Amino acid sequence: MSRVSKQARKYAQHNRTTMQKKEGKIHIVQLGSYSRPEIKEYYNDDFVAYGEDNDYFTYLIDRYNGSPTNNAAINGISEMIYGRGLDATDSRENKADYAEMKDLLKKNVVKRICHDFKMMGQAALQVIYTKDRSKIAQVEHLPVETLRAEKCNSKGEIEAYYYHSNWSEAKPNDKLKRIPAFGYSNSPIEILYIKPYRAGYKYYSPVDYQGGLQYAELEEEIANYHINNIQNGLSPSMLINFNNGTPDPEQRDAIERSIINKFSGSSNAGRFILAFNDSKELAATIEPVQLSDAHQQYQFLSDESMRKVMVSHRIVSPMLVGIKDTSGLGNNAEELQTASVLMDNTVIRPMQVTILDELEKILEYNGIELDIYFKTLQPLEFTDLTNAISEAEIEKETGVKKDIEEEVKEKVEEQIENIE
């Protein structure tokens, strides 16, 4: 072996020894780390769980309640999906069917379906039949988080769903309520489950804003951090020095676990540490660690989390969902109109089509033949009539019937004649 190699090996050995000595005195404690919840379908004896602990719907609800941007995006888009409610292009020609449709698909039910569909990625209706099952008598909204799919039959079809009011409290020995899926029984009540296709998932449909959920959680954590800092007097983070010798590995692990349990996470921001020591000479010293640009860091994270959440919802302009755009872009009428038309065509319409396709199954069962659509919330000047050729297509784009002005005029004239 050459002299150079021997020197290199000796130098490396010296470095390892030095690091081992330092490692015993200085130890870095990882207080917290983020792990994204997995979206998996887990098979149980009867039903298929959604999420590792069957709590993925709860996770989505928490992100809705905790993130202001995510909350505003979901509310805004679900309102756009519902628009001004259901209508039909042929309502005048089929007045009896139209009246039955309105009675069957009530406003509050359809509104909740639109909200669940956006927020949860799917929605569910409770379909109630007449005694002889000749017609559907009633349709009610059922919170989709209360349902879990039964395992598929040999044909790959879901024949039923299991109901529990709170799955986090469900016990292994609980007798779950089994409700047949729409069209798979002669039961007086069935479940019509509305969900879009998602590759890799058979039973449930991940939300379309899945990629932004960690940023929604980040937004929550930033808020929690600042609130706890204020509640605890804006105390800085602390560096803890134990000056009473180096503990053995077992003691050091115990100290680490204690610190992690008590001080990790945004909810512990600004807390102080109370140390108990045998004597003043052996007291632990606490030194504040100041971040010179903490304000800028948190402002960047706050802005970035808001941007990423909106991107995940495919929001072209924040103003469309009631969020002020401070960048100055997309604030003029022409840009806002372009953004509105783009979002309506690429985000809102596809969701409306999926919901309408399922609602038409209910109407078809009752022999109702109507060309239904959701009336848009867009102003008339924002509507895109480029590809609208027929009167029905124009009505679907604008939500306005062609001869509505003439009809109003006729009614006014009739009232005047009756008075005279």
Distance of alpha carbon 162 from alpha carbon 52, whole angstroms: 18
Q: ∠100-190-96 over CA atoms, to 5°?
A: 10
155 within some domain:
no
Lowest mean pLDDT among 143-157, 208-222, 243-257: 243-257
Q: Taking 50 as the threshold, does the pLDDT of residue 23 lie above it? A: no
Give the per-residue pLDDT at 408: 45
What whole-number distance in Å separates Cα of residue 144 and Cα of residue 157? 19
**84 contacts 378 by C-beta, under 8 angstroms:** no
Average pLDDT over the chain, rounded to an integer: 81
Question: Which domain does 232 fall in, by range?
Answer: 213-312
pLDDT reported for residue 4? 44
> CB–CB of 348/80 below 8 Å?
yes
252 φ, ψ (degrees, to nearest 5): -65, -40
186 lies in a domain? no
The answer, yes or no, to whether residue 237 has pLDDT greater than 70, is no
Report the pLDDT value the prediction gives residue 236, as an integer from 0 to 100: 53
Is the model more confident about 389 or about 2? 389
Judge whether 287 lies within some domain.
yes
What confidence tier does 337 reach under pLDDT thresholds 50, 70, 90? confident
pLDDT > 90: percent of the chain = 48
Gap between the Cα atoms of 377 and 79, Å rounded: 8
Distance in angstroms (rounded) separating the CA atoms of residues 64 and 177 = 28
The DSSP code for 141 is E
Give yes or no for residue 146 having a pLDDT over 50.
yes
Which residues on adjacent β-strands are paired with residue 223? none
Question: Is the Cβ–Cβ distance between 409 and 103 less than 8 Å?
Answer: no
Determine the residue type at 12: A
Give domain status of residue 301, yes or no: yes
* Burial category of 109 from C-beta neighbours within 10 Å (exposed 0-12, middle 13-18, buried 19 and up): middle
Angle at 300 between CA 299 and CA 302, to 5 degrees: 65
Helix (H) or strand (E) holding 202: none
Across 35-39, 259-263, 294-298, 324-328, least confident range: 324-328
Reported as a pLDDT band with limits 50, 70 and 90, residue 288 is low
Give residue 11's pLDDT band: very low, low, confident or very high (50, 70, 90): very low
∠ CA 133-136-139, rounded to 5°: 140
Count of domains observed in the chain: 1
pLDDT in tens, 35-44: 777 778 888 7
Q: What's the CA gap between 269 and 305, in Å, rounded?
A: 20
Average pLDDT of 372-378?
A: 89
Q: Where is pLDDT greater, at 125 or 292? A: 125
Kindly state whether residue 263 falls inside one of the protein's structural domains.
Answer: yes
Pick the residue with more confidence: 230 or 10? 230
Query: Is the residue at 318 inside a domain?
Result: no
Q: Is the pLDDT of residue 368 over 90?
A: yes
Query: What residue ranges in 167-291 does DSSP mark as E strands?
Result: 177-180, 189-194, 237-241, 285-289
The span from the CA of 72 to the CA of 387, in Å, is 31
pLDDT value, residue 22: 43
In-domain check, residue 246: yes
pLDDT for residue 336: 82
Helix or strand holding residue 222 (H, E): helix 213-231
Considering the domain boundaries, does residue 371 fall inside one? no
d(C-alpha 370, C-alpha 91), whole Å = 7
pLDDT the model gives residue 171: 86
What is this structure's pTM?
A: 0.76
Measured between its terminal Cα atoms, the distance across the chain in Å is 121
Distance CA 386, CA 378 (A): 16
314: phi > 0 → left, psi -120 to 50 → alpha, else beta; which?
Answer: left
